[in-house]
Amino acid sequence: MREVAIIGVGIHPWGELWGDSLRTIWTRAALAALDDAGVDRVDAITVGCMSGGMFVGQEHLGALLADELGMAGTAAMRVESACASGGMALRAGFAEVAAGLADIVLVTGVEKMTDVSGDEATAALATAADAETEVFYGATFPGLYAMMARSHMAKYGTTAEQLAAVAVKNHTHGMLNPNAQYRRRVTVDEVLGSTMVAAPLHILDCSPITDGAAAVVIAEISVARRLAKGRPLVKISGVGSATDRMALHSRADMAALPSTTLAAERAYAMAQRKPADVHLAEVHDCFTIAEIMVLEALGFCRPGEGAAQAPSGRTALGGERPVNTSGGLKSKGHPVGATGVAQVIEIVTQLRGEAGERQVKGARVGLTQNMGGTGASSVVHILEVAS
Amino acid sequence: MREVAIIGVGIHPWGELWGDSLRTIWTRAALAALDDAGVDRVDAITVGCMSGGMFVGQEHLGALLADELGMAGTAAMRVESACASGGMALRAGFAEVAAGLADIVLVTGVEKMTDVSGDEATAALATAADAETEVFYGATFPGLYAMMARSHMAKYGTTAEQLAAVAVKNHTHGMLNPNAQYRRRVTVDEVLGSTMVAAPLHILDCSPITDGAAAVVIAEISVARRLAKGRPLVKISGVGSATDRMALHSRADMAALPSTTLAAERAYAMAQRKPADVHLAEVHDCFTIAEIMVLEALGFCRPGEGAAQAPSGRTALGGERPVNTSGGLKSKGHPVGATGVAQVIEIVTQLRGEAGERQVKGARVGLTQNMGGTGASSVVHILEVAS
């Protein structure tokens, strides 16, 4: 298998971008990544997007966006795995380069979520759950994750304060990220005092609705070395993807995320790494409970110990293994198709030593974990400074 | 690059399947393909689908369908390039096997189009065009392809009778295909006398709205050889994909399909083949004019000569290079996400010598061409009997 490295990253400030269209924000990120990589052509483009159809009435984003970028002709496709679409777009791009179908691929993610009403956005997001056995009966994602939280509380004694500590940590990190949607501190009391969405999840336990895009340029490693211009080169050493039963009620244990465990095992095996080798991670904190369960699934701690991580400071900047230094989905925002790509951008920025105030010192191995639905899809990447 | 072969195919009778859901028809095709391949596990699944969101209110089809098949855990993703989604799903699966991320991949396509009204289906399909500069002004695909037909007529003298001859040929072929939606003969007079949809395209110049799924199992070639059990093995020798300007009005020539030309050049180069080497082809006849323009773009004839192919008999069964022996989109039906995979099934069936009444004698090299929108995306595969 050919080795693959990341040679450029591009993002822009996320938020409620009512003045910009999907194609505008995507092009902004794509141009930034191409500029960072120092290339003006690529062999292929992948676009992670959950629902161009339901959010903006536009499918066929591969061709549309290649054209928008002035690159009509270039092979392009969209990849969708609900909120894991961005991570899967990287996996698809990786496969093209690793196989030799392409030397350089522009991997992107985008979602424009605020052009529809909140109700319409909730309905669009709900299509990531099982339409026949979950959505039909009224389930939405806050409700489903609330059941996962209740289950974790019942099984392990997890508390609302521990959930809130995840939000506090990620907002503290997000204040240092100029591209984050909500750059403001929150306290445990503010989280616990905020509107209850689906008990035990308050609104400050939930990631927001966001417009945003993200892009990275990947290349076969010898091509990447030629283009690195002295900067540290970040290679993709592990790729793992897995699914789980679609409906939450079909699973044996609502307090676990086996698709993330399986995806991580596959990525660790490919990279010949173990959890202890990972210096920092970006994980899918769509709700505070998700970060807790993901830390357990990745093997960063034992089952039941995830809730203690944020309160102890171990996952904060300056802690033993910082998690979501970008602010995570919680503070940075969660344009669903873009999230998985933005996670990779944060790790690359850290491994290059270019993260400024939020730099994790000595970081050489990072991990991203992106998931769809209530964990029916997971994708994990391991990134390392290439020697 | 690792070599990749097709070891199983599965399809079912297409049509207006009001009693079956998307997941039911997909599973029927997937199980048939796994049975044909003689395997009960795969390393990954790809699902080509244009708009699960707009047609059936269900995104996240990778995880949903892996679970439906009893294969939760398996890596799975959806691929979308409008009506080229099926072909792109094969390209994505090919990349995974060629790279070594997977040894065996289940490549599928599906669309359930009749659960919504005709107006809703037209609106969903229109999202394959440019929402801002085409759809907003009222353009739909029959109208856009009508402009392409008018342009071809003006430039090359193509006639309505020549368009009709494509429909006549493909319906004649489709009568021999037990899985085709419209297994009935039509005559030139019937086509010309049928309802005008968008001049010069009559309703019998248009492919129908269809529910259907299709699946193939691909494998690394040494794995494939072990599983072949004496049957001829079909390898994927060429893969090519390309885009074009999204909006029809942005293109220099509305009577040409440069994305198909470019995709074909890439596939021919990879396979070290030329048009003359191809014994039969399945091409994207979403409208009769499309088949004519595709034959020119693939290099099967010169620009302007496409319209003479069907009337001369050259593209009919028994002709020098049969095209759309399955009945094509026109007779077999066009469940948009499934079409590209079904094309591959027809070629594999022919190359194995298992096509019965519609067998092309001595066929050893076949080609599939699948496209999205008015040709903003094209994907071409070259398939050959492995020696």
Mean pLDDT of all residues in A78-101: 98
Q: For B354-365, what is the mean pLDDT?
A: 97
Mutating which of A65, A69, A77 best tests the B interface, going by the most B Cβ atoms within 10 A?
A: A77
Pick from B43, B54, B49: nearest CA to B23? B49
A83: annotated active-site residue: yes
Residue matched to tokens 């049969």: B322
Whether B229 shows a pLDDT value over 90: the answer reads no
**Mean predicted confidence (pLDDT) in A161-168:** 98
User: Over 90: is that where the pLDDT of A376 sits?
Assistant: yes
Asked if A206 is an active-site residue, the reply is: no
DSSP E strands in A180-325: the ranges are 196-198, 201-202, 211-220, 234-243, 280-282
Taking the CA of residue A96 and the nearest CA in chain B, the distance in Å comes to 5
Q: What is the DSSP string of A304-320?
A: T-GGGHHHHTTTSTTSS
Q: Whole-angstrom Cα distance, residue B33 to residue B216? A: 6
Q: Is the pLDDT confidence value at B230 over 90?
A: no
- In angstroms, the CA B366 to CA B308 distance is 21
Taking the C-alpha atoms of residue A127 and residue A138, their distance in angstroms, rounded to an integer, is 12
List Cβ neighbours of B335 (8 Å cut-off, separation of 6 or more). B14, B109, B110, B111, B112, B113, B210, B211, B212, B213
For B32-88, the pLDDT digits (tens) are: 999 999 999 999 999 999 999 999 999 999 999 999 999 999 999 999 999 999 999
Instruction: State residue A3's pLDDT score.
Output: 98
- For residue A98, is pLDDT > 90? yes
Q: What is the pLDDT of residue B89?
A: 98
ipTM for the predicted complex comes to 0.98
| Cβ-based contacts of A259 with chain B (< 8 Å) | 73
Query: Exposed/middle/buried for A222, CB within 10 Å: 0-12, 13-18, 19+?
Result: exposed
**Is pLDDT above 90 for B129?**
yes
**pLDDT single digits (tens) B161-185:** 999 999 999 999 999 999 999 999 9
CB proximity A376 to B under 8 Å? yes
Residue B8 has pLDDT above 90, yes or no: yes
Name every residue whose Cβ is closer than 8 Å to that of residue A138 and which is 6 or more positions away in sequence: none
**Which is nearest to B269 in space by CA: A74, A101, A99, A66?**
A101
pLDDT at position A31 over 90: yes
pLDDT confidence of residue A387: 78
Q: What percent of chain A lies above the pLDDT cut of 90? A: 99
Interface-testing mutation among B23, B43, B46, B59, with chain A (most A C-beta atoms within 10 A): B59
**Tokens read off for B333:** 């039906």
Phi, psi angles (nearest 5°) of residue A78:
-100, 145
DSSP code of residue B325:
T
pLDDT at A183: 97
Q: What is the pLDDT of residue B110?
A: 98
User: What integer pLDDT is reported at residue A230 of this predicted model?
Assistant: 86
Question: Closest Cα of chain B to A44: distance in Å?
Answer: 9
Q: What is the pLDDT of residue B368?
A: 98
Q: How far is B88 from chain A (nearest CA, A)?
A: 7
Q: How far is B49 from chain A (nearest CA, A)?
A: 10
Tokens of B360: 């092309």
* Per-residue pLDDT band at A89 (split at 50, 70, 90): very high
Burial status of residue B162 (CB atoms within 10 A of its CB: 0-12, 13-18, 19 or more): buried
To 5 degrees, how large is the angle CA B321–CA B322–CA B326? Answer: 155
Residue A241 near chain B (CB below 8 Å)? yes
How far apart are the C-alpha atoms of A340 and A79, rounded to whole Å?
12
Tell me the residue ranges of DSSP E strands in chain B.
4-11, 44-48, 75-80, 104-112, 196-198, 201-202, 211-220, 234-243, 280-282, 365-372, 377-385
B interface mutation test: which of A20, A23, A54, A60 has the most B CBs within 10 A?
A60
Using pLDDT thresholds of 50, 70 and 90, give the confidence band for residue A261.
very high
- Chain-chain contact of A62 with B128 (C-beta, under 8 angstroms): no
Cβ-Cβ contacts under 8 Å for A196 (sequence gap 6 or more): A202, A203
Contacts of B60 (CB under 8 A, 6+ apart): A80, A81, A82, A127, A128, A129, A246, A372, A373, A376, A377, B52, B78
Give the one of A98, A124, A266 whose C-beta lies nearest to B99's C-beta: A98
Asked if the Cβ–Cβ distance from A242 to B96 is below 8 Å, we say no
**Structural domains for chain A:** 4-117+209-227 (3.40.47.10), 123-208+237-385 (3.40.47.10)
Yes or no, beta carbons of A245 and B79 under 8 Å apart: no
Residue numbers in A near B377 (CB within 8 A): 60, 62-63, 76-77
- Give the three-class secondary structure for B286: coil
Q: How many CB atoms lie within 10 A of CB B122?
A: 14
Band of residue B151 on the pLDDT scale cut at 50, 70, 90? very high
Residue A182 contacts B, CB cutoff 8 Å: no
Average pLDDT over residues A255-259: 98
Per-residue pLDDT at B387: 78
Are B80 and A80 in contact (CB < 8 Å)? Answer: yes
Measured between beta carbons, which residues in chain A are less than 8 angstroms from residue B258?
Answer: 73
- Any A CB within 8 A of B64 CB: yes
For residue B251, what is the nearest residue in chain A, using CA coordinates? A72
- Taking residue B130's Cβ as centre, other Cβ atoms within 10 Å add up to 28
Among residues A49, A83, A286, A301, the one annotated as catalytic is A83
What are the CA-CA distances from residue B319 to residues A166, B158, B280, B345 (Å)? Answer: 69, 21, 10, 21
Query: B132 pLDDT exceeds 90?
Result: yes
Residues of B in contact with A244 (CB under 8 A): 63, 67, 72-73
Decide if B379 contacts B91 (C-beta within 8 A): yes
Average pLDDT over residues B316-344: 98
Helix axes A339-351, A85-99, angle to 10 degrees: 60
Q: Alpha carbon of A257 to those of A289, A339, B73: distances in Å?
A: 11, 19, 11
pLDDT tier for residue A229 given thresholds of 50, 70 and 90: confident
Quick check: A242 and B74 in contact, CB under 8 A? yes
Q: Whole-number mean pLDDT of chain B?
A: 97
Instruction: State the Cα–Cα distance between residues B318 and A214, nearest whole angstrom.
Output: 52
Query: What mean pLDDT is predicted for residues B128-138?
Result: 96
